[in-house]
Amino acid sequence: MRILHIAPGISRRLGGPTSLLRGLVPVQRDRGHSVTVVATDLFAESEEDRRVPGAEVRLVPLVGPGQLGYGRGLRQAIRAAVGDAEYAALLGRPRPRATWERDRPLTRDDIIAQTQGRGGFAGFLHGLIDAVGAALMALGRPHAANNTRFVLDLPFRSVARMSGGRVDEPMLDGLLLMVNGGFLRGAVRMASAWRARRRSERASRKN
């Protein structure tokens, strides 16, 4: 079996999680598994802090201050560590294309970062998220900046799930229509879905 561990870092200075990882990998290796570790280079100040005995280690440079930094290449490193067949077996769907087709309509399985370079509302949405992240970093709020930039790595289908119920499936369909060039139709669909949701919530409270 191939095992992939994803960690914020592997330096001993990180304590518990790193200690657990360093203890677990040799056991997995001794049982015949192939182990890969993808992590940032947080606190990796010595050669010992850059390796885990028994595992292939792929470190991603950290951008930003210490534990609040941003591993900009983490997504690419994880993608390289997981084969297409493994991805499909784990998630039950094909891996998204490595190169984005700008003229192909975005779907729920595409990530929000794929709005980059499309123009219109799609390009505006990407630029807004990126600009807010940069502004927060400049204001000395790296944690909030990284959380904002993390949104770009999310698939559209996760918007409904991670919004705490504020965005439902019909509203998500409206958003996709907006980023795919149908801004007005998508906005109308989102507004209609929002009103329908509000009516349903009021009816539920009355009952």
Of 83 and 75, the structure prediction assigns the larger pLDDT to 83
Q: DSSP H helical segments within the chain, as ranges?
A: 16-30, 74-81, 84-91, 120-138, 142-150, 157-162, 169-179, 183-206
pLDDT class of 183 with cuts at 50, 70, 90: very high
**Considering the entire predicted model, what is its pTM?**
0.60
Q: What is the mean pLDDT of residues 51-55?
A: 90
Q: What is the mean pLDDT of residues 163-188?
A: 91
pLDDT at 69: 57
Q: What is the mean pLDDT of residues 52-63?
A: 87
- Across 87-91, 101-105, 151-155, 192-196, the highest mean pLDDT is recorded for 192-196
pLDDT at 17: 80
Question: pLDDT digit string (tens) for 97-152?
Answer: 666 778 889 999 889 999 998 889 999 999 999 999 889 888 888 778 878 888 88
Structure tokens at 191: 């507004």
What CA–CA distance (Å, rounded) separates 158 from 18?
29
- Sequence spans of domains, the chain: 1-95, 101-207
Architecture of domain 1-95: 3-Layer(aba) Sandwich (3.40)
Question: pLDDT digit string (tens) for 60-74?
Answer: 887 766 555 566 777
* SS3 of 16-56: HHHHHHHHHHHHHHHCCCEEEEEEECCCCCCCHHHCCCCCE
pLDDT class of 174 with cuts at 50, 70, 90: very high
